[in-house]
Structure 1
Amino acid sequence: MLLNLIKDKYKTISIVGMSKNSGKTVALNHLINEAEKSKIPIGITSIGRDGEFKDIITELEKPRIYVDKGTIIASTEELLKLGSAEIEILRTTDFRTPLGNIIIGKVKSNGNIEIGGPQTLAEMKEIIDIMHCLGAEIVIMDGALDRRSSAAPTISEATILSTGAVLSRDMNKVVEQTLHAVKLFNLPAIEDKRVRDIMSNSMNENKIELIDKNLNVNTLSLPTAIGGGKNIGGRIKDDSKYLVIPGSLVKDTIEDIIYTTKRFKYIDIVVNDGTKIFIDYRDFIRFQRLGVKIKVLHPIDLIGITVNPYSPTGYSFDPIEFLEKMQAKIKDIPIVDCESELCIVHCAL
């Protein structure tokens, strides 16, 4: 099911979980299994760590990542020792992590693996390029809510979002939170090429900047927007048109801007992509009603959603009801329950 969303369309995708135990590893294993049956060579890596037997924080058991012979993986020296799959080392890199350098290898015999990838997006992009050169037709990046940078469109062509009962005992709240994530991933993009070029430079240089109607740029001397909302608000002028924030956008920053100036209604706040926004759905709706406008430099191509109706803490949802409620709110995106192999879509898989 999931492979049909990807093959012949994308070379690099990310699977991003809304939280721990949201079913992301189940989705990853489902995709690995489909690729094996279709004889499509794949590569697997992660921003962060995944595939361990127990979550190192919650100590809850987790599904293992099971890979087949021929799969190319990028992981660390220490984590490669913990899996049961036999790995042939193809390339050793200089990319350091707390668990050793990143190593790229090929699976020689089927088994479980633990993966931990590079620490930066630039390193991840290079790792992906190497994996493609070594024969991976599709590279899959594993991610999570607290490391959603794996969905950044600068390195991932498309994204699959995993959500599940673990978010809340209230099914409606899970649906609301998932719908909010979908909306963030699909925020409107800046289209004017001249403006995009200016903003790309701001993002690359990690500069918070105000751009006026004549495309003049005013750089703010702030290392981050977090805690700087009042300073930013005080710098917004009548002719300001865009506020460029290269890092994270959080609730307090927007609230301080609103408190400081009424001019916020006449500007677009621009972030790199929807993974940079850390505002819950109720506050986001409230800000929109007040006139806050948020756009992105890079929209994210969300091609599918997987749902997990089971929580590791002991409760669950009815799988069909959960799937139907999710699809009632989220249109035109295929939604799949990999565990039950259920699927509801408004577009062909």
Structure 2
Amino acid sequence: MSAHHLADLVTEAQRVAVIGLAKNTGKTRTLVALLAELHRRDRTVGLTSVGRDGEATDVVDPRITKPRIPLPPGGLVATAEPLLRAAGLPYEVVSRTGYSTPLGRTMIARLPAGGAVEVAGPSSNRGTAEVTAAMREHGADIVLVDGAINRRAASSPAVADLVLLATGAALHTEFAQVVEQTVAAAEVFALPCSGDPAVYSAAATAAGSVAITGSGAVVPVDRALTLGGAGADLSRLLAGPDGAQHVVLSGALCESFAEEIRRAARGRKVSLVVTDSSKVFLAQRTSDWYRRQNVSIEVQKPTVLAAVSVNPVAPFSHRFDSVALRTELSARLPGLYFCDLGPHVD
């Protein structure tokens, strides 16, 4: 699969997030390849980042040369004003936003001649959604949002219509662990939507997190309970024939809360419902593991994961066989597209 096929996958989308599972897994290379292919198709592209990307060398390991991000001529970018000036490229300011980054205020500009630019946009869902909408209003056919697994705002359906995931050898020194961690991440993006209308009704009217009991009663859940460390209170919430069947969270789902719900439920079925997959933070167990313990993690709004790019090389460390890695991932995640957009630098 090539950048040509990636562009085919995103052709109907207006907003696409490119998410890296770790540093140096090929996210920027994926972004650059997609930018070039969209330009060949005469698509006007907008670009922003939930964080920072496009620097010449890695900020952690300066030995690692990073791919520059060449915005095509006529493209739009939402980035910090000092970074845009430092690029030394001609640009036309179309909007100065109210969002600031550690590198300066975010502005939206058009680059008539294109060129390489560092990108640092708003870090919040709201800010990213607003600048992507603004770039669309100013003529972008499609907006690419650069993100990372620790900058989850980029993958929210409020920000992106679909997601491209970048994984690779930099994730772990063991082949099997790269596969397992990639599969776990993909499973979170593919979390099922809740099938109970009561969940959506409660979420639309509640001021915070709530529990829905077996009889349909909606009970407020104190925010402190959702942060972990309140096992006894959760046991009471879930106890008895009219115990909670759904817990609808207004914020993030942390692993400590999921684990306490599992213990308190004592084998009873219960669902934990979040707004979307960007609100789920699991590190020790997978969503599939919790499902097998009768704790179903569900979403109100689905995330569309369209493809996974694979970088088989960890810089200055190790490499895996690209075909073997893609074959194994394809077997574990049927229906997804996989590609290697190398060459990669050892």
Which residues of 2 match residues 29-68 of structure 1 at below 5 A?
29-59=32-62, 60-68=64-72
1:200 to 1:316, Cα distance in 2 relative to 1, 3 A: farther
Residue 22 of structure 1 and its aligned partner are, at CA, apart by 1.1
User: Secondary structure of the equivalent of 1:150?
Assistant: helix
What is the CA–CA distance in structure 1 between the aligned matches of 2:264 and 2:190, rounded to whole Å? 29
Say if 2:80 and 2:106, in contact at 8 Å, map to a contact too.
yes
Say if 1:265 and 1:293, in contact at 8 Å, map to a contact too.
no
Partner of 2:342: 339
Which residues of 2 match residues 1-349 of structure 1 at below 5 A?
1-7=5-11, 9-59=12-62, 60-202=64-206, 205=207, 207-223=208-224, 225-230=226-231, 231-238=233-240, 239=242, 240-262=244-266, 265-280=268-283, 282=285, 284-339=287-342
TM-score, normalising length from structure 1? 0.89
Larger CA deviation: 274-283 vs 111-120: 274-283
Larger CA deviation: 319-328 vs 284-293: 284-293
1:313 to 1:196, Cα distance in 2 relative to 1, 3 A: farther
1:56 to 1:4, Cα distance in 2 relative to 1, 3 A: same
Residue 168 of structure 1 and its aligned partner are, at CA, apart by 1.1
Q: CA RMSD in A?
A: 2.1
1:329 to 1:286, Cα distance in 2 relative to 1, 3 A: closer
Say if 1:229 and 1:255, in contact at 8 Å, map to a contact too.
no
Aligned residue pairs: how many? 336
1:156 to 1:224, Cα distance in 2 relative to 1, 3 A: farther
Deviations 1:303-342 (A, max 9, x none): 111111111233211222222222122211111111259x
Residue 166 of structure 1 and its aligned partner are, at CA, apart by 0.4
What is the CA–CA distance in structure 1 between the aligned matches of 2:35 and 2:167, rounded to whole Å? 19
TM-score, normalising length from structure 2? 0.90
User: Secondary structure of the equivalent of 1:104?
Assistant: strand
5+ unaligned residues in a row in structure 1: which ranges? 342-349
Residue 16 of structure 1 and its aligned partner are, at CA, apart by 0.8
Deviations 1:122-155 (A, max 9, x none): 2222211110111100011111010122110122
What is the CA–CA distance in structure 2 between the aligned matches of 1:143 and 1:269, rounded to whole Å? 25
Q: Percent identity?
A: 29
User: Secondary structure of the equivalent of 2:173?
Assistant: coil
1:57 to 1:131, Cα distance in 2 relative to 1, 3 A: same
Residue 84 of structure 1 and its aligned partner are, at CA, apart by 4.7
Deviations 1:29-84 (A, max 9, x none): 00010011111101001111111123333444322211121111101112213335
Letter in 2 for 1:83: A
5+ unaligned residues in a row in structure 2: which ranges? none
What is the CA–CA distance in structure 1 between the aligned matches of 2:28 and 2:99, rounded to whole Å? 25
User: Secondary structure of the equivalent of 2:86?
Assistant: coil
Letter in 1 for 2:117: I
Residue 184 of structure 1 and its aligned partner are, at CA, apart by 1.1
What is the CA–CA distance in structure 1 between the aligned matches of 2:224 and 2:100, rounded to whole Å? 25
What is the CA–CA distance in structure 1 between the aligned matches of 2:183 and 2:314, rounded to whole Å? 19
Say if 2:187 and 2:287, in contact at 8 Å, map to a contact too.
no
Say if 1:234 and 1:261, in contact at 8 Å, map to a contact too.
no
User: Secondary structure of the equivalent of 1:95?
Assistant: strand
What is the CA–CA distance in structure 2 between the aligned matches of 1:197 and 1:151, rounded to whole Å? 24
